[in-house]
Homo-oligomer: A and B are copies of this chain.
Amino acid sequence: MKPILSIIKIGGNVIENKSELSKFLTLFSKLDGFKLLVHGGGKSATEIAKKMGVESKMIGGRRITDEKSLEVITMVYAGLTNKNIVAELQANNCNAIGMSGADGNAIQAHKRPVKDIDYGFAGDIDGINDGLLAHLLTLGLTPVFCAMTHDGKGQLLNTNADTIASELAIGLSTLYDTTLYYCFEKNGVLKDVTDETSVIRKIDTETYEALLDQKIIADGMLPKMTNCFHALNNGVGKVCIGNVSMLEKNENPYTTLIL
């Protein structure tokens, strides 16, 4: 039997709310088994960019990462956000180690080729260093990844945190019984987006198809779900979607995805 590994991704909404982040980090620290955290950046990068006179360009909700934006992202994601999370986890007796994909060559990527849109220094993942991560976990360390990778030629790349989480989960599923958790502001995948109590508790391939047909899964949830099923189809045992309290061992509803 493979050892259990939990990979948890938190987004901007958790990071930017200091008390919500503290609540999450306390829960995360108490999780049994091997674990790994991936965090996005969120609005703080945009705010700091503004202060520094750097314009944040977005197309269809995605950041266009020019040279100056990449500098700000490197400062905020890999510096400010990552190190404060690591220090707070240490205070919770969780031996965290902050990483970007460049550290230990943990996540190799290439600059996204220009098609219709030039995303600038955005990275698409080629592979992960599962051997190194397994070693770090064995040493009792908890890797904390920011949303950055590198191309192996000296270039840092801004990379979607959801994708980093799923690629890490896929890569590590040969060694671990891996569960992937996406923490966001909602209680889970909702039948009715206006009703937080309408959480769909379980989604498998069959119900997924049905939900797509009924257009219940649409808009922003669509790429998230595609990502989840991509993980499930490539070795990840289970994907959970919900808010921070899904890590509590109580009866709070959240969505579990399985094949």
Contacts and interface: CB of A to CB of B under 8 A. Distances in A.
Interface in A34-80: 48, 51-53, 71, 74-80
Contact of A87 (B96, B135, B154): B154
A154 B100 contact: no
Interface stretch (A102-110, A163-171, A182-190, A206-214): A102-110
A150 interface: yes
Which of A71, A74, A96 has the most chain B CB atoms closer than 10 A to its own CB? Answer: A74
A130 interface: no
Nearest to A156: B87
Interface string A77-112: 111101110111011000111111011110000000
Contacts of A96: 102-104
A156 B79 contact: no
A173 to B, nearest CB: 22
Contact of A86 (B76, B86, B102, B153): B102
Contacts of A27: none
Given A90-B102, A97-B99, 9 more contacts: A48-B75, A78-B78, A87-B102, A87-B155, A96-B104, A98-B99, A98-B100, A132-B139, A135-B139
Interface of A: 48, 51-53, 71, 74-80, 82-84, 86-88, 90-91, 95-100, 102-105, 132, 135, 139, 141, 148, 150, 152-156
Contacts of A86: 100, 102-103
Contacts of A139: 132, 135
A87 B103 CA distance: 8
B91 A97 contact: no
25 contacts: A48-B52, A48-B75, A51-B51, A52-B52, A71-B80, A74-B79, A74-B80, A75-B76, A78-B82, A78-B83, A78-B98, A79-B82, A83-B148, A87-B156, A90-B102, A90-B150, A91-B153, A91-B154, A96-B104, A97-B103, A97-B104, A98-B99, A98-B103, A104-B141, A135-B139
A26 B111 CA distance: 24
A109 B62 CA distance: 40
A76 B74 CA distance: 9
Nearest to A85: B102
A127 to B, nearest CB: 14
